[in-house]
Chain A
Amino acid sequence: DIQMTQSPSSLSASVGDRVTITCRAGQSISNYLNWYQQKPGKGPKLLIFGASSLQSGVPSRFRGSGSGTDFTLTIISLQPDDLGTYYCQQSYSSPIFTFGPGTKVDI
């Protein structure tokens, strides 16, 4: 199975800060990488698919980049509504999928 790691595991930032979350795959997964946001007590929400494509309705302050084994989710200017946990997920080995362990963002 393809293992996914994320760093940091948690972070605290202020409104307006630029926040960067890193996801690393155990082998090359091309651009088969998606990002999700989960708020406390809620189901996850898709933010980015295919490493860099913004899902419809998601604010443009969310940016995804990377390919191969190293990927980044950047929040350009952190907003109070961005509190939550962020997960990366690989679909390179579809129909087997793997999520990263998550990065908790506090504001």
Chain B
Amino acid sequence: EVHLVESGGDLVQPGGSLRLSCAGSGFAGFIVSRHSMGWVRQAPGKGLEWVSISYSSGITSYADSVKGRFIISRDNTKNTLDLQMNSRRAEDTAVYYCARVFAASAVDYFDYWGQGTLVTVSS
């Protein structure tokens, strides 16, 4: 069983930067760098929106809505997956979920999820 815990959510003003982190734990340890991981967000009362993915191979990808503003990365010293949110907008207000991506088969899927961290962008 893998447990993922997000942190870093806050009430912030438009513009500027915020960094979210995701730490994992599980049987025999959970080394973030060995797994493909992603971020999915959910605006209040809305559905799920895929944000970004980081494969263990190093390949990264972003949704058009955040491309050029958000950066996904891994901090191997802290064993976390991070999401650097730059140029924040009101529409970035959401609960941000971290998820492990099972990418060893033909079909990629998000098999373990955290409980989410709330980011509110408002002046």
Residues of A near any B CB (own CB < 8 A)? 1, 31-34, 36, 38, 42-46, 49-50, 55, 85, 87, 89, 91, 94-102
Find chain B residues with CB under 8 A from A85 CB: 47
The DSSP consensus for interface residues of chain B is strand
B contact residues vs A (CB 8 Å cutoff) = 38, 40, 47-50, 53, 55, 59-61, 63-64, 97, 99, 102, 105-111, 113-116
Min Cβ gap A11→B in Å is 16
What is the CB-to-nearest-CB distance from A60 to chain B, in angstroms, rounded to a whole number? 18
Query: Is B110 in contact with A32, judged by CB distance below 8 angstroms?
Result: no
Residue of A at shortest CB range from B64?
A1
The reply to whether A44 and B113 contact each other, CB–CB distance below 8 Å, is: yes
Give the contacting residue for B109; candidates A91, A98, A101; CB below 8 A. Answer: A91
The answer on a CB contact under 8 Å between B48 and A96 is: no
A96 to B113 Cα, complex, angstroms: 18
- Selected from A32, A45, A50, A94, the residue in CB contact (under 8 A) with B113 is A45
Contacts of B116 in A (CB 8 A): 43
Q: B109 near A102 (CB under 8 angstroms)?
A: no
With A34-B107, A95-B60 known, 7 other A-B pairs at CB within 8 A are A34-B109, A44-B97, A46-B110, A89-B109, A91-B107, A95-B53, A96-B61
Question: Given A95-B55, A95-B61, A87–B107 Cβ distance below 8 Å?
Answer: no
Which residue on B lies nearest to A34, using beta carbons? B109
**Cβ A36 vs Cβ B55 within 8 A:** no
Cross-chain contact of B47 among A94, A95, A101 (Cβ < 8 A): A101
Nearest chain B CB to A40 CB, angstrom units = 11
CB pair A97 B53 closer than 8 Å:
yes
**5 tightest CB-CB pairs across the interface, nearest first?**
A95-B61, A43-B113, A97-B50, A91-B108, A49-B109
- Name the distance in Å between B81's Cβ and chain A's nearest Cβ: 15
Q: Is the CB of A32 within 8 A of B97?
A: no
